[in-house]
Amino acid sequence: MRYAIPALVMVGLLALLGVGLTLNPREVPSPLIGQPAPDFRLTTLDGRPFSVQDLRGKPALVNFWASWCAGCQVEHPLLLRLAREDGVAIFGMDYKDEPDAARQWLARHGNPYTEIVADPAGTAGLDWGVYGVPETFVLDAQGVIRYKHIGPVTEEAWRDQIRPLLAERAP
């Protein structure tokens, strides 16, 4: 009995470790999947009012990004291509960034966004459960979140997860 309890504890810990090693660290479950996108009222980089209602009408991506984000530079060429060649509606949420820095960054790298919403304090990001940028959400035409991608969007993520969701949700 003296050795049985520590052995059982060790077996339990090894089992937990084994399960943990099979999980994908990029997949952080979001309680927002299947829920309407969180409400917000902010302004665009051009100073116009913008709210969650403006995201409804057709499937879209909502991409939280910032000019200071290294991962955002990695995914940017793909976002440009998706907007240009595939006609994907991508709404940029400029997260905890200076509007002038965002404008300069977009002038230098190109603008894939249908609209760019300024979230300088990160309040919308907090409501959406953003851990850090870049993070991208797939919304259906009714504004319901169908998928959350953490980190730079890659060709593989586009092909395997995001594109099929946009295709099945198109009106």
The residue extents of the domains of the chain are: 29-169
Which pLDDT score is estimated for 170?
A: 55
The C-alpha R_g of the chain, in whole angstroms, comes to 19
Q: Tens digits of per-residue pLDDT, 144-170?
A: 999 999 999 999 999 999 999 988 755
Q: What is residue 25's predicted lDDT score, i.e. its pLDDT?
A: 59
pLDDT at 122: 96
Query: What value does the mean pLDDT take over residues 7-20?
Result: 79
pLDDT in tens, 40-76: 999 999 999 999 999 999 999 999 999 999 999 999 9
Instruction: Of 3-17, 31-45, 106-120, give the lowest mean pLDDT range.
Output: 3-17
pLDDT tier at 20, thresholds 50, 70, 90: low
* CATH number, domain 29-169: 3.40.30.10
Between the alpha carbon of residue 41 and those of residues 49, 50, 118, 159, the distances in Å are 7, 6, 10, 32
Per the CB < 8 A criterion, the answer to whether 101 and 69 are in contact is: no
The order of strands in the sheet holding 60-65 is 49-51, 41-44, 115-119, 90-95, 60-65, 135-139, 145-150
Average pLDDT over residues 121-144: 95
The residue among 69 and 24 whose pLDDT is bigger is 69
Q: pTM to 2 decimals?
A: 0.83
Q: What is the pLDDT, as a whole number, of residue 23?
A: 60
Calpha distance 40→51 (Å, rounded): 5
pLDDT-derived band at 7 (thresholds 50, 70, 90) equals confident
Angle made by CA atoms 30, 112, 171, in degrees to the nearest 5? 65
